[in-house]
Structure 1
Amino acid sequence: MDWLSEQAGFVWLIVAALFAICELLIPGVYLTFLALGAAATGVLALIFPELGAIGQFISFAAWSTVAVLIGKRWYGANPVPSSDPDLNNRAARMIGQSVTVVDAISGGTGRVRVGDGEWPAEGPDLAPGEKARIVAVRGGVVVVDAIRTIAETPSA
């Protein structure tokens, strides 16, 4: 036996530690599962030195897969709370925004300016230049409602 095969268990444990350190430096969760797979393989290689290189790689792949599946299930059941849950949900972030009608909304359809782009819109009849507020997004169409000014609001 050569030196590397005699020390394979320790090499796998060092690889596990390196994965864990990289996970701490560059958070992304996936290296944690590889670190667990490498650690399990390291322990097995120390207990069963005759495991061999192919057996160790199979062990690493199997334990990493098991760790990913367990992690996926755990994160599904225990989602990480977010300070901005709509961060990657562009449609949800648009709701409540004030927009300007670009092409008249007539017969329920038209176009509005949202930020620096134009979107197809549905809503009450509005003339170009009027302000509206996004109340929903359906597919690629924003649903708007007119913004009423104090002068337009009927008095009680």
Structure 2
Amino acid sequence: MIDFIAGNGPWAWIVAGLVLLALELVVPGGFLLWMGISGIITGIVVLVWAIGWPLQWLIFGVLSLVSIALWVRWTRSRPTATDRPHLNRRAEQFIGQEVVLEHAIEQGFGRVALGDTVWRVSGADLPVGHRVRIVGYDGAVLKVEAV
């Protein structure tokens, strides 16, 4: 088997690259895609120039690492486009709204009702029924100021 692979080195790289590309369909994640492309490129390089196995593995390894690193860097630098930017960040959608205090702010904390949820708020001490504007948040605590 090793003699067969050694005798057909370029085609072995190309077939291995295609197998890695096929595996990417089964195990998504992106890494096998770039390793498959690197295997195919290595096979093409070996078709053009006859080089030894250690250099072939070096070419494959370097191409794989560089392409995966560039792909990871590129995907992390791009924001994910979404039609619901505040999904799982509910507090952000309330910034700027004016609401009425349900429970007075005493010692820096009180409560307001927003939709079907009662939120804890922080700010200057204010009585029940006072209008406040949400100006920020800290975790699940909304920061408010008097209107």
Q: In structure 2, do the counterparts of structure 1 residues 43 and 74 end up closer, same or farther at CA, with 3 Å as the change threshold? A: same
The alpha-carbon distance between structure 1 residues 108 and 19, as it changes in their structure 2 partners (threshold 3 A), is: same
Q: 1:40 to 1:107 in 2, by over 3 A?
A: same
Q: 1:120 deviation in Å?
A: 5.8
Aligned-pair distance for 1:62?
A: 0.2
Q: 1:96 aligns with which of 88, 93, 96?
A: 93
* CA–CA separation in structure 2 for the residues paired with 1:85 and 1:34: 34
Structure-2 separation of matches of 1:113 and 1:23? 48
**Structure 1 vs Structure 2: percent identity of aligned residues?**
25
Q: Which residue of 2 aligns with 1:30?
A: 31
Question: Deviation of residue 94 (structure 1)?
Answer: 2.7
C-alpha RMSD over aligned residues: 4.3
CA contact (8 A) 1:94 1:134 kept: no
- Give the direction of change, closer, same or farther, for the CA distance of 1:62–1:25 in structure 2 (3 Å limit): same
Gaps of 5+ in 1: 147-156
Structure 2 residue ranges without an equivalent (≥5): none
Closer/same/farther in 2, CA of residues 25 and 95 from structure 1, 3 Å limit? same
Q: Secondary structure at the match of 1:137?
A: strand
- TM-score (structure 1 length as normaliser): 0.57
The residue number in structure 1 matching 2:138 is: 138
The count of residues paired between Structure 1 and Structure 2 equals: 141
Q: Give the equivalent residue in structure 2 for 1:7.
A: 8
1:6–1:49 Cα contact (<8 Å) kept: no
Which amino acid counterpart does residue 68 of structure 2 have in structure 1?
Answer: V
Contact 1:95 1:136 in 2 (8 A): yes
Deviation, 1:63, is 0.5
